[in-house]
Structure 1
Amino acid sequence: MNVQIMDRADISTAATAVYTYPVSHSFQAVGGARRRARDVLAEWGLSRDTAEDAVLVISELVTNAVLHALPPAELRLSLHGDVVRVEVGDSGAAPMWPGSAPASDERGRGGDVVEALALSHGADVRSDSATYWAELPAC
């Protein structure tokens, strides 16, 4: 699978809401991030279906940070008009985008999930950090 890493999208509207959540370097952090995100997205008035799509993307990106990146990591959600942006930043570039490795029975499909649900997605990779992001419709 050839995965294109795109530059950060140019969101034309300023964020009307922003939420950040520190992600510990443990598998329990994935469930915690999902629970917090559900509450925040419901508070922002997103539909249950939209929130569940966003939570699935969050789960994939946070799992990738826990499995492949250096701590600390942070989840950031922002609402820009009709777009919700999910970002997961970490302190070391992940070796590959989720799903870019050959799929096994239990791993390797995260990138496909993100690509299927997101309007756009990509990564901002620097020498000492990486931020993986996805934008979803906020309806």
Structure 2
Amino acid sequence: MTVELNTMPREAVVDVCPLPHSPGAVSAVRRRARAVLAGWEVSPQIVDDSLLVVTELVTNAVVHALPPAWLRLSWNGSGGTGTLRVEVSDAGPARRAGRPRADVDPDEHGRGECIVRALATRCGLFVHPGGITRWADLVAM
């Protein structure tokens, strides 16, 4: 039996990117995410919000978590409409809970989670044996 590719339902396309733990990692990963979203023709309606979510989740992993870490984008849609899932996984907290970092300015940190919740349709985290995955879904209609 032969099936035409264009008659098959569209399945999610996925891009996975390792996150280097370096100062330039966030901007480099954001540029890559922008290119991936453009290639997938994700609706401009959610691209800017998606890039901000990517920035917040990647920054959290690079600043506060142990390596290795990676970004996983998945797009299930066509014609610009659909759902984009942003996932950032890391190996867990770099310091024990309740122990403040001396070099962290509380006025400059701690808002990322609120930003992600405000922009995403759904979001959450999954704790697994290898660490933590934070995820957010953005829907374009």
Q: Matched residue pairs, number?
A: 121
Work out whether 1:27 is the aligned partner of 2:23.
yes
Shift, 1:105, TM fit:
2.5
Which of structure 1's runs of 4+ aligned residues deviate more than 3 A? 93-96
1:70 aligns with 66
What SS does the corresponding residue of 1:105 show, helix, strand or coil? coil
Query: Matched residues in 2 for 1:75 and 1:64: separation?
Result: 12
2:139 aligns with 137
Work out whether 1:84 is the aligned partner of 2:80.
no
Aligned residue type for 1:91: A
Question: What's the % identity of the aligned pairs?
Answer: 50
CA contact (8 A) 1:16 1:79 kept: yes
Unaligned stretches of 5+ in structure 2? 1-8, 99-104
Unaligned stretches of 5+ in structure 1? 1-12, 97-102
Query: Matched residues in 1 for 2:70 and 2:128: separation?
Result: 16
Aligned residue type for 1:87: E
What SS does the corresponding residue of 1:70 show, helix, strand or coil? coil
After TM superposition, the score normalised by the length of structure 2 is: 0.77
For the structure 1 residues 133 and 76, does the alpha-carbon distance in structure 2 shift closer, same or farther, using more than 3 Å as the test? same
Aligned residue type for 1:85: R
Instruction: String of CA shifts for 1:12-62, please: whole Å, max 9, x gaps.
Output: x98421001110112211001100000010111123341111010000000
What SS does the corresponding residue of 1:84 show, helix, strand or coil? strand
Highest CA radius of gyration, 1 or 2?
Answer: 2
After TM superposition, the score normalised by the length of structure 1 is: 0.78
For the structure 1 residues 29 and 15, does the alpha-carbon distance in structure 2 shift closer, same or farther, using more than 3 Å as the test? farther
